[in-house]
Structure formats: structure tokens, C-alpha cells
């Protein structure tokens, strides 16, 4: 499946200042650098499966990953978009349960794996790391609760606009300053918004007709940011 390769050093990782591990003490970082295994996953490959038992946490060295629930009727709900420097799989590890989401690479990605015991061990010893962990969890929880409110109260149109902004915040734009730098299928966008694929397609067409965005295959260019923000109707 995944292809292991020569481990990139944590000390030179381009995300060492933004990832959670920037808070870890040096000696602990050394231990992690020694023990971790880095692998390359191709676009579409699954990193871990909903229902499986976790054996460690994953830290994204490079790439983009989606975390998704598979709903009762098989429809997927995308829960989180993961980028370089982010960790994933920590929730299952901390609550000592099975994965509740499946992680799938949105593009070719290199991902480091840190064994469970080591991670938990360091978490016990390193107060500032564990504090950072709590900060991340709190912030994810805050975002999730906001999403619940919006899902319950906002129409699809607003949620789609909000989702476009969210994708931009997460993965940023290409050099042209307009194009979202990730390629998602219409279905994936719908599963992020929480609506039917056809609805997402229809509304994207409307956004395009209104001049807010430009579509070219899976490329989405945000042309009229103020209007997108207005459409998202965010007050908070």
C-alpha cells in the first residue's frame, strides 16, 4: 500500500514551527524523529479506516487529506480537511476507541507515523505538548459546534459559500491569487457542505452565473470575494 521512504528529519521539516510538535521539548522531538516512519500515499489511497484500531498518530509532512464519516446509508460526510503540519488520528488514540473517520489522500502525500506508546508517553511527560494538544482539540470542537449550528440553521446556498471560504482558509490559493489549490470532485464538495451532489452542482453554476466564481473542470477560481463572503452570511 503505502510506500515507506527515507524519513525526513523532524528538525528540518518545513512545518516544524507550525505543527503541534513545535511545542514539544527538544529531547522529545528527538525521540519522535527516531521512531517515526514516513510513507507516501497516492491520491485516493486510504491512510486509515473508520472502525479500525489506532496504533499511533499521523503527522502530515506534505499533501492534503480528507477525513470522512460514512453515514448510515453509505453517504460520506467530510469532517475535516487536513494539511501539511497537521496531525490526525489523535482523537481515537486519546479516547482509546476505534477510528470514527476514514482518512483518504486528496493528492499524493507524505505522512509520518508516530507509534501510540511513544506519543502517549511523551504526552504524559511534556506538559507544553499536552497543553497544545488540548488547544487543538478545543479549537476543533469549537469549529464542529459552529458547523452544527450552521447545518441546522443555514440554507445550502450560504453553507456552500462558507465552504468555499473554508477551503481557501485551509489550503490557500494558487499563485494566481484566485484558484483554490485543491481539486475536489463536486461530490466531495457536496459532502463537505452536507447536501446532495446535484444541489452543490446547481449552486456552483449559479455562483458562476452571478460572477462570484469561475469553474474550469475541478478548478474553482474565487473571483468576487466580497460577494462570496456576503453570500456566506457570516456574523460571528
Partner DNA sequence: GCCCGTTCCTGACAAATATCATATTCCCCA
Partner DNA sequence: TGGGGAATATGATATTTGTCAGGAACGGGC
Q: Which residues bind DNA (CB under 7 A)?
A: 155-157, 185-187, 194-199, 201-202, 204-205, 215, 217-218
Q: ∠ at Cα 19 (44, 150), nearest 5°?
A: 65
Candidates 3, 9, 18, 149: give the one binding its own copies (CB under 8 A): 149
Candidates 3, 9, 124, 205: give the one binding its own copies (CB under 8 A): 124
| 223, three cell numbers | 473571483
Give the Cα separation of 223 and 208 in Å (integer). Answer: 9
Candidates 21, 48, 90, 207: give the one binding its own copies (CB under 8 A): 90
Candidates 14, 135, 218, 230: give the one binding its own copies (CB under 8 A): 135
CB of 147 to its own copies, least distance (A): 6
Candidates 22, 46, 79, 173: give the one binding its own copies (CB under 8 A): 79
- Grid cell 452565473 is found at 209
Task: Answer for the pair 161, 71: CB distance below 8 angstroms, yes or no.
Answer: no
Q: Give yes or no for residue 117 binding its own copies (CB under 8 A).
A: no
Task: Answer for the pair 81, 87: CB distance below 8 angstroms, yes or no.
Answer: no
Is 51 exposed, middle or buried, given 0-12, 13-18 or 19+ CB atoms closer than 10 A? exposed
| 3, three cell numbers | 510506500
Give the Cα separation of 193 and 157 in Å (integer). Answer: 9
Q: Give yes or no for residue 53 binding its own copies (CB under 8 A).
A: no
Q: Give the interface segment with its own copies, choosing from 13-21, 151-159, 163-171, 206-214 (CB under 8 A).
A: 151-159
Q: Strand pairing partners for 81?
A: 66
Alpha carbon distances (Å) from 198 to 147, 189, 195, 201: 21, 11, 8, 5
**Binding partner of 217, given its own copies, DNA, none, CB within 5-8 angstroms per partner class:** DNA
Q: Give yes or no for residue 234 binding its own copies (CB under 8 A).
A: yes
Is the Cβ of residue 36 or residue 150 nearer to its own copies in the bound state?
A: 150
Span 173-232, contacts to its own copies by CB under 8 A: 194-195
CB of 172 to its own copies, least distance (A): 23
Amino acid at each position: 500500500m503505502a510506500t515507506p521512504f527515507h524519513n525526513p528529519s523532524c528538525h528540518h521539516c518545513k512545518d516544524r514551527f507550525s505543527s503541534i510538535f513545535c511545542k514539544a521539548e527538544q529531547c522529545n522531538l528527538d525521540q519522535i524523529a527516531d521512531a517515526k516512519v514516513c510513507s507516501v500515499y497516492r491520491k485516493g489511497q486510504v491512510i486509515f479506516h473508520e472502525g479500525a484500531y489506532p496504533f499511533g498518530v499521523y503527522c502530515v509532512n506534505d499533501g492534503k487529506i480528507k477525513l470522512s464519516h460514512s453515514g448510515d446509508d453509505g453517504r460520506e460526510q467530510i469532517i475535516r480537511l487536513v494539511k501539511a503540519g497537521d496531525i490526525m488520528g489523535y482523537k481515537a488514540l486519546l479516547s482509546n476507541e476505534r477510528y470514527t473517520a476514514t482518512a483518504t489522500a486528496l493528492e499524493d502525500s507524505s505522512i509520518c507515523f508516530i507509534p501510540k506508546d511513544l506519543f502517549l508517553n511523551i504526552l504524559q511527560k511534556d506538559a507544553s505538548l499536552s497543553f497544545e494538544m488540548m488547544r487543538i482539540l478545543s479549537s476543533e470542537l469549537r469549529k464542529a459546534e459552529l458547523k452544527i449550528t450552521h447545518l441546522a440553521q443555514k440554507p445550502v446556498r450560504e453553507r456552500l459559500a462558507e465552504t468555499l471560504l473554508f477551503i481557501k482558509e485551509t489550503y490557500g490559493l494558487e499563485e494566481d491569487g484566485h484558484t483554490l489549490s485543491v481539486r475536489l470532485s463536486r461530490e466531495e464538495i457536496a459532502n463537505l457542505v452536507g447536501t446532495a451532489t446535484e444541489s452543490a452542482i446547481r449552486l456552483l453554476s449559479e455562483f458562476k452565473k452571478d460572477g462570484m466564481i469561475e469553474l474550469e473542470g475541478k478548478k474553482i477560481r474565487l473571483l468576487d470575494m466580497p460577494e462570496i463572503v456576503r453570500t456566506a452570511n457570516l456574523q460571528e
